[in-house]
Structure 1
Amino acid sequence: MEVVIEFVKLVSVVGVVGILSWLVYGYSSVWVKSERVRRKLRMQGIRGPSPSFLYGNLPHMHKLQSQAKLTNTTISTTNNHLFLAHDYTSTLFPYFEHWRKQYGQLYTYSTGMKQHLYVNEAELVREMNQCITLNLGKPSYVTNKLAPLLGNGILRANGLSWAHQRKLVAAEFYMDKVKGMVGLMIESAQPLLTKWEQLIEAHEGGSSDNGTEVKVDADLRGFSADVISRVCFGHSYSKGKEVFSKLRSIQKAMSTQGGFQLFGVSGIRGMLHYLWSTKKQNQISSLEKEVESIIWELVEERRRKQSEYSSAAAEKDLMQLLLEAAESDQSSDHEGKEFSKRSFIVDNCKNIYFAGHETTAVAASWCLMLLALHPQWQTSIRNEVAQLCPNGIPDADSLPHLKTVTMVIQETLRLYPPAAFVSREAYEDVQIGNIKVPKGVCLWTLIPTLHRDPEIWGADANEFKPERFSEGVSKACKFPQAYVPFGLGTRLCLGKNFAMVQLKVVLALIISNFSFSLSPSYTHSPAYRMIVEPGHGVYILIRKI
């Protein structure tokens, strides 16, 4: 019996020593390293909230997020004029706003394993976005979490891999090539226009003459998805709809894992979070495999028809370019890189499928919401399209002259940019303006806050005033570099031209055919689900012109 007791004591001592060793290791490898980085930032006058041991500021972030959820109330259509003044960043990202009020536009905070810089000074944002070094890229811990959605494609890539993929994909979205896509975009919009006309016809004779209610989000996603399928992959939405549907499911599943998937959860809290979300992870993994299988089927189908695309370079779409690049990579110095030929093709298809349609569709939804609130801008656009577009249908020649449409899109992207952040990680020590950023620090710019800063945009920063862009972005605000709906500099969104032309086409066609107002069913509740989108969808009441 005494032997057993002594053995238990020995095990207990070993356990205690093990725990102490783990704490010492955690202190030396995490806390000391993080404190060293914080000291370097403090020496440059950069302040921030005091971190707790191992978890940094995560507990405080969780607390602020919980408080924001309790106090948040959605805004109904009876409060239309409060929509734009509603500071949705304080609800979606309350910790950023809380600390910004304490420490200003530049501060540092910690998520345990990582030290961060919040950078919303216009000049530093410009310096960060125009920095050409490959030592400043997407935060690795964020891109790791997005792997099921984006694979190793261009949106996750860094360094030489990113440079190589950007060079390849950029060719598909040059303005000269985008102009040639306008006809396909108009074709893709026809099912949406026809559906809405049929809804109006079916509604005629009803008790209300206020219009026919339509929830626009799914229809706009269908339009945008059809466009990206046709112009980039040579097939219609009917073939690619499974891909879009499953990518959307992955996006939703990842968004429900908790608001801190962007900022990391470490230590014991991270282990518990991982165990809690295992079922969700299994669901995501299953969807990921299904998406890859469907895309590869489309690739194999293209290969069988490859001879049809080899006769003229002008006929090549993005999938053909990816196929040729992958074949080339197998016999060049790219062999043995982090992605195989198959994953290179599949992952970049996933990136274009997701980024090419999701953000554009959400931007179009926000546009219709704002135009529904401001019918005078519908009238201005309708008159402009009637004057400049033959038969009221835009083409590649008339689109650049649709100034009113452009201003409305630019103002919408200012107030409701789908991308919430510009984020970077320093892979080596980097100089950004007058700030020396230590290796391993992640930088975050909150785009909605930058776009609504009265110091940059004036006292009317929260108002919908497209006329502020009447002379272009350079005259719209005090610091043009503070307008970053598509990013800025070397990481400028490759699909900027594509998205702008697509938005012009669909808005011109909708407004030429319909007038609309906001439905009482609409509830204003912006939500962050990898991008900032209408939390409950956009409902409008439409009437045929």
Structure 2
Amino acid sequence: MILAEKIILSLFFGGVFMLLLQLLDALLLKPRRRRLKLQKQGIRGPIPSLMCGNIAELKRIQLQKRPTGGSVEENQFGGRSVVEHAWTSAVFPHIEQWRREYGPTFMYSTGNIQILCITDPGMVKEISLRTSLSLGKPSYLSTERGTLLGRGILSSNGPYWDNQRKIIAPEFYLERGFVTLMAESTSTMLKTWESKAENWGGKVEIRVDEDLRSLSADIISRSCFGSNYAEGEKIFSKLQTLQMVMSRGNIGIPGLRYLPNRHNREIWRLEKEIDSTILELVERRSGDTCDKDLLQLILSAAKSYGDNGNLPADITPNKFIVDNCKNIYFAGHETTAISASWCLMLLAAHPEWQARARAEVLEICGLRLPAADTLRSLKTLTMVILETLRLYPPVAYVVREALQDVILKGIHIPKGVNIQIPIPVLHRDPDLWHSDVHQFNPERFAGGIAGACKISQAYMPFGLGSRTCAGQHFAMTELKVILSLILSKFSFSLSPAYQHSPVFRLLIQPEHGVNLHFEKL
């Protein structure tokens, strides 16, 4: 009996010891080995602390340089104009500082996540042309950001991601009356603006980012889920709150997301409420016999994958549905609304471009609702949108993880290293975009992206390579519809209440909103 107890105790303590060794290797030794491999190839960076990496130094640098975002001055048209857009050093000062100290490719750590930050355009081009599955989305997107993204199309990898993209991507490219629906939703919003303007003598001040969020929510909900904004309101508002809460947290610190502190409890509560609301919507739609929209396709795919046993072992049909619905809501709602807000701000700040874009809209579309074929003819408006996405891309980083050892531009990158490409930095490289890189100049896109940038792959508001946003076509169409209708009905300028302060909260957005003065035409 005593011998048996000793054997059991030995096995128990042996198991605990092996577990501790595995934890030590995963949390400390592996990241250190990856870092040393990069150091031996001349890649440098700030020295990380044991558990938190460079998070403390990163925060210290950010606190030393609070965002200012550019200057606002009077222009020759009598309005206020944002004349400089050099905000990246204020919002991402750690990248600017470490880039100066260590070169265009450097490394740093957040917790036990080793990051290789790349601002070398040649290496970015090489990444974009890589078609193998050796580079994928980082694992922290489905763990640290799992409550927001889960393992949907934005965060999954391999065959599972490929299957999701085959379901979702074609839906955004097919013409299913989206343009008409977008125009009708936008017209409804503009009627409220016109009513407000009439009550104030033809002029009114509006905080457009709030209304555009509601509009974008209505469009994505009706286009892809066959419901109106009222049914999706809970999902949109809670996802926005979840995004704000998660932007205040740190990624990579081992075990931090499991602690039952106030921050995590709020995240868990929101996750539970969002998931249950989506499943309620799914339950109401499960018996629908209407035309197949995106939700119906996701429901059918979940059932098919579940019946055939093709889902990963840790993915239930309900999780497949919830994760992809959250991904589409998040990507299709918030990013488009923010981009439309920045577009209106820039057109308000540059009346000459506003006049050019309006003249084109009135010539091509007249006062009718835009149609798919007329949108393709709006060249000036397209240039304005492309330049806005260059100066204010809603997504700050392209991120990848080396799923196996890879070689990029002669650098051997070990498996497990996270690759980070700061989009705003590449969008402001004077060697790629010429000396007016901080100026709003849509004319640079007159010859398309290839004519605007020396290395076209360095323009990446919708991502890079095979993981380019599946909803890119849908988003560009939505932006053209919204902007063309606003331009046809109103002239607008910056309000004195407008404060130009871009801020990074998982997305690059206006910290204090976008206040504009509108006047009915």
Counterpart amino acid of residue 34 in structure 1: P
Q: Kindly indicate whether the alpha-carbon contact (under 8 Å) linking 1:246 and 1:291 is maintained by their aligned counterparts in 2.
A: yes
User: Superposition pairs for residues 74-113 of structure 1, below 5 Å?
Assistant: 77-78=72-73, 83=82, 85-113=84-112
Counterpart amino acid of residue 413 in structure 1: L
Distance 1:250 1:29, change over 3 A: closer
1:134-181 deviation per Cα after TM superposition (whole angstroms, max 9, x unaligned): 23111112431221112221112122211111111112112x426x31
Q: TM-score, normalised by structure 1?
A: 0.87
1:276-318 deviation per Cα after TM superposition (whole angstroms, max 9, x unaligned): x72122222222222222211221221222xx23xxxxx3110
Counterpart amino acid of residue 360 in structure 2: E
Q: Kindly indicate whether the alpha-carbon contact (under 8 Å) linking 2:393 and 2:424 is maintained by their aligned counterparts in 1.
A: yes
Tell me how far apart the structure 1 counterparts of residues 466 and 278 of structure 2 sit (CA, whole Å).
Answer: 29
Tell me how far apart the structure 1 counterparts of residues 320 and 30 of structure 2 sit (CA, whole Å).
Answer: 36
Distance 1:137 1:282, change over 3 A: same
Q: Kindly indicate whether the alpha-carbon contact (under 8 Å) linking 2:358 and 2:484 is maintained by their aligned counterparts in 1.
A: yes
User: In structure 2, what is the equivalent of residue 235 of structure 1?
Assistant: 227
Tell me how far apart the structure 2 counterparts of residues 200 and 511 of structure 1 sit (CA, whole Å).
Answer: 15
Counterpart amino acid of residue 119 in structure 1: I
Distance 1:253 1:35, change over 3 A: closer
User: Superposition pairs for residues 51-450 of structure 1, below 5 Å?
Assistant: 51-69=48-66, 72-73=67-68, 77-78=72-73, 83=82, 85-174=84-173, 176-177=174-175, 180-204=177-201, 211-257=203-249, 260-261=250-251, 264-266=252-254, 278-305=261-288, 308-309=289-290, 315-335=291-311, 337-450=313-426
1:422-470 deviation per Cα after TM superposition (whole angstroms, max 9, x unaligned): 0011121112232221011111000001001111101000000000000
Distance 1:223 1:28, change over 3 A: closer
User: In structure 2, what is the equivalent of residue 6 of structure 1?
Assistant: none
**Matched residue pairs, number?**
500
* Partner SS state of residue 144, structure 1: coil
User: Superposition pairs for residues 484-495 of structure 1, below 5 Å?
Assistant: 484-495=460-471
User: In structure 2, what is the equivalent of residue 37 of structure 1?
Assistant: 34
User: In structure 1, what is the equivalent of residue 8 of structure 2?
Assistant: none
Q: Select 1:452's aligned residue among 425, 428, 453.
A: 428
Tell me how far apart the structure 2 counterparts of residues 530 and 187 of structure 1 sit (CA, whole Å).
Answer: 30
Out of 402-411 and 348-357, give the one that drifted further. Answer: 348-357
Counterpart amino acid of residue 48 in structure 2: P
Distance 1:200 1:223, change over 3 A: same
* Partner SS state of residue 398, structure 1: helix
* Partner SS state of residue 395, structure 2: coil
Q: Kindly indicate whether the alpha-carbon contact (under 8 Å) linking 1:57 and 1:109 is maintained by their aligned counterparts in 2.
A: yes
| Structure 2 residues not aligned, in runs of 5+ | 1-17
Out of 115-124 and 387-396, give the one that drifted further. Answer: 387-396
Tell me how far apart the structure 2 counterparts of residues 494 and 56 of structure 1 sit (CA, whole Å).
Answer: 34
Q: Kindly indicate whether the alpha-carbon contact (under 8 Å) linking 1:373 and 1:518 is maintained by their aligned counterparts in 2.
A: yes
Q: How far does residue 356 in structure 1 lie from its aligned partner after superposition?
A: 0.6
Distance 1:44 1:113, change over 3 A: same
Out of 396-405 and 74-83, give the one that drifted further. Answer: 74-83
1:72-117 deviation per Cα after TM superposition (whole angstroms, max 9, x unaligned): 4466745788845343222222211110111221112233412211
Distance 1:79 1:536, change over 3 A: farther
Distance 1:111 1:357, change over 3 A: closer
| Structure 1 residues not aligned, in runs of 5+ | 1-20, 310-314
User: In structure 1, what is the equivalent of residue 488 of structure 2?
Assistant: 512
Q: Kindly indicate whether the alpha-carbon contact (under 8 Å) linking 2:51 and 2:253 is maintained by their aligned counterparts in 1.
A: no
Distance 1:343 1:84, change over 3 A: farther
Counterpart amino acid of residue 253 in structure 1: V
Tell me how far apart the structure 1 counterparts of residues 506 and 240 of structure 2 sit (CA, whole Å).
Answer: 11
Distance 1:434 1:320, change over 3 A: same
Out of 180-189 and 290-299, give the one that drifted further. Answer: 290-299
Name the structure where helix makes up a greater proportion of residues.
1
Tell me how far apart the structure 2 counterparts of residues 327 and 531 of structure 1 sit (CA, whole Å).
Answer: 33
Tell me how far apart the structure 2 counterparts of residues 73 and 395 of structure 1 sit (CA, whole Å).
Answer: 40
Q: How far does residue 490 in structure 1 lie from its aligned partner after superposition?
A: 0.5
User: In structure 1, what is the equivalent of residue 4 of structure 2?
Assistant: none
1:174-200 deviation per Cα after TM superposition (whole angstroms, max 9, x unaligned): 2x426x310000111022101110111
Tell me how far apart the structure 2 counterparts of residues 223 and 160 of structure 1 sit (CA, whole Å).
Answer: 34
Counterpart amino acid of residue 134 in structure 1: L
Q: How far does residue 342 in structure 1 lie from its aligned partner after superposition?
A: 1.2
* Partner SS state of residue 304, structure 1: coil
Q: Kindly indicate whether the alpha-carbon contact (under 8 Å) linking 1:184 and 1:231 is maintained by their aligned counterparts in 2.
A: yes
Report sequence identity in percent: 49
